Every structure is written in C-alpha cells, then in structure tokens.
Amino acid sequence: MALRRDGTRRAVRLASVVLAGLFFLVLVANVLWVLPSPTSINQPRMPPTVSPFPQFRMGPILHVVTLDPDANLSTRLLMTSLQGIVNREQVELYLGGPKVAGNTSRTLSFLSSRYNVSSAPMTLVGAIDAYANRSNGIVVFDSTRPESIDITTMIAAQQNEILVGSDLVAWLHARTRLPVLFDYASSDWASLDAIAAFDRALRDLYPSSAATLLAILPPDRWAIRDYLVATRTFVFYFPQGALATPFEAAATRRILHATPRGIPILGWFRSPTLTEENSFVQLASGEGKFVVGVQDVPNLSVLTALGRNETRRQASSGAAPLPLEDKTYVVLAVPDGDNVDFAAGRMQELWSEPVR
C-alpha cells in the first residue's frame, strides 16, 4: 500500500510540474512573442456591411466523387483544387469519403432534403475527364518543402491550375494533355526558406488574392482547399505559440498587418503545447481580425452556396424563471459556434445519437 501511495504522489507531482510548465509557456508566449501591433491608421478595413464570404451559384446537378480512404495527399489536393476551379464558376462537384470532419453522405442527404439538391455519382477519373478543360494547366508542389503546398494552392487558384505532387504529374499530363505551367522544385521559389517564401507571396500573390479573406492552414490539411481555391484566398502557415521562433512570429504579424482589418481568418494550426490558440487569437485580435476554426470540413464551396438568405430566430419561452432550490445543478457549456470542425463533426455525432 505504501508503494502505491508513493507512486500516486509521484504521478500527482509530475502532473503538477507539467501543468505549471504549460502555464509558463503561455506566459512566455504572451509576454515575449506577442509584441504591440503596429499602428492601424493606414491599414485598410473591410466595411461592416460587406459579407466576407462570397456565394457561388448552384448548378443543375451535383456530381459526387467518393475519394478512396487510402488516397494520398497529392490525390486529395488534385481533387480539391479541381473542385475549387469548377465550383467557382458553378457548383457541380462534391467530394465524399472518410478522414474529414462530419459524415459526407449524411450531409449530402441533408442538402437533398433541405434544399432539393439533385446529385449523381461520378468516378474520380470521370471527374478529371469531364472538368480538366476548365483548367489552364498543372502546378506541382514540392513534397520536400511543406510551405510549397500553401504557395502552390494560391498559384493554382489565381491561374486556374490543377494542383498535384510529382507522383501524379506525368499521369495527369498524359490523360488531360494539360501543360505543366509551374513546378515549385525547379522554380526560383525553391531557393527560399519558408519565411522568405511567404514574404515573397505577400508581395507577388496577395495583390491578386481575395481582399476579404485570409487563411492559416498546415500543409497536410486539404479538406477546405476547394474553398481557398474557389475564393482565391491568401493562405500561409507558421508555427504559433511557445514553439514559434521570433522570426516566425514576426512573419505572422507581417501578414496579419498587411491585410485588412475586420476580415475572418479561416483554418487552424497545430497545437502541441496548448499555447498556440491563445497566442494566435491575440495576434489576430490585435490586427482587428477574427478566427474561424475550420480545417477538416470538406465541400465548403458547396455548403456556402446554400441557405444564405434564410434567417433563423430563437423564440422566447415566455415562461417566468423558476426559483432555484437548495440543491446541486448541472451546468452545460454551449460553444459559440466559431469552430466549424466541431459543429460539423463531433456536435453532429452527438446530435444524431438516439439516446439524446
């Protein structure tokens, strides 16, 4: 028994040390990394009456392509970039499959019953054959340079190109006869590190990007890239919080300050130390921006085309509040809805449980 108590005490002490370390990292991130924001006098501001989210026009039929569960990142980027190019003009492509937030089949059924959306299955190759002519060519990311995925996402969006890795470029060219218009590995971008690459993107690519949107997204996250391509959103990624270097924190601030106040920042970031959310939200708030947590919800270019003109109001119960009794009550915390991944994923699962 004594040995068991000693082990419990050691575990409690270890947990206390870890918790204290996390609090210390938060303090370091807040005090050292987050510097006062530059003056916002000359910084552009999005008018409060303008919606930052563009609405795309629904097509007569939604073609549903189910991605293989084992599809690699190159395949997923190919399809999301093609989807963004197609749906920007008219919403016609919907991607199904696992490894995303929410159930794509259940969502499709909801769209059908709620908005009378007509759909039909289509193979991946069939979609490429049908829609490749909407693209001007192929852009290739460098799998050894993670930052190249966000850079080439922007290039694909602005030049109407399909994004793939080197493993699929020969096959895609042979099937579609589309030319390779940009290859990151053989371009002059390849000599730049991540910070220099995004600094250049801010100069060269941001002027042709959406003025009302910004995105931060880890390179391995693919689900929302259809929307980033369709909207031509500027997307970047640096580590945040305690693990971000001063140079990465400064690069993040440069991007936030160069973009208008009042706009949303889509996406999310890796959070290994739990300091990342607090640090980035403070940076964004200091630049007058709000964060919309979403990185794993697919088909945003489809979902944002529907239900935009509906207004929902919560009716008052009208009943007088009951006096509290002398007992213990259970308090339920309701999220404010800014985390789209949670709303589309775990919340939808809880809502669908029969026991509820």
301, pLDDT greater than 60: yes
Write down the pLDDT at residue 7: 63
**Domain range summary for the chain, segments of one domain joined by +:** 59-303
The C-alpha atoms of residue 160 and residue 173 are separated, in whole angstroms, by 15
For 259-296, write each residue's pLDDT tens digit: 999 999 999 999 999 899 999 999 999 999 999 999 99
Map residue 339 onto helix, strand or coil.
Answer: strand
In this prediction, residue 186 carries a pLDDT of 98
The least confident of 106-115, 227-236, 256-265, 323-332 is: 323-332
- 298-316: average pLDDT: 81
For 75-112, write each residue's pLDDT tens digit. Answer: 999 999 999 999 999 999 999 998 888 889 999 999 99
Name which of 43-57, 143-157, 163-177, 233-247 the model is least confident about. Answer: 43-57
CB-side neighbour CA atoms (13 Å) of 226: 27
**51-55, 310-314, 351-355 — which is least confidently predicted?**
310-314
- DSSP conformational letter for 261: B
% of the chain with per-residue pLDDT over 90:
68
What is the reported pLDDT for 33?
47
Task: Say what the alpha-carbon torsion angle 217, 206, 160, 228 is, to the nearest 10 degrees.
Answer: 30
| CB count in 10 Å sphere of residue 233 | 24
Listing from the earlier edge strand, what are the strands of the sheet with 180-183? 161-164, 137-140, 180-183
Task: Name the band, by pLDDT with cuts 50, 70 and 90, for residue 211.
Answer: very high
Q: Is the pLDDT of residue 177 over 60?
A: yes
C-alpha 285/C-alpha 96 separation (Å) is 35
Tell me, what's the pLDDT at 317? 65
DSSP H or E segment with residue 229 = helix 225-231
What SS3 class is residue 79? helix
Q: What is the mean pLDDT of residues 212-217?
A: 98
Confidence band of 298 (pLDDT split at 50, 70, 90): very high
Q: Do the Cβ atoms of 39 and 257 come closer than 8 Å? A: no
Map residue 59 onto helix, strand or coil: strand
Encode pLDDT of 22-62 as tens digits: 556 555 555 544 445 555 557 788 888 888 999 899 999 99
Residue 52 contacts residue 261 (beta carbons within 8 Å) = no
The overall average pLDDT reported for the chain is 88
- Residue 64: the pLDDT is 98
**Weakest mean pLDDT among 136-140, 180-184, 332-336:** 332-336
CA distances to 117, 260, 295, 328 from 220, rounded to whole Å, are: 31, 27, 10, 46
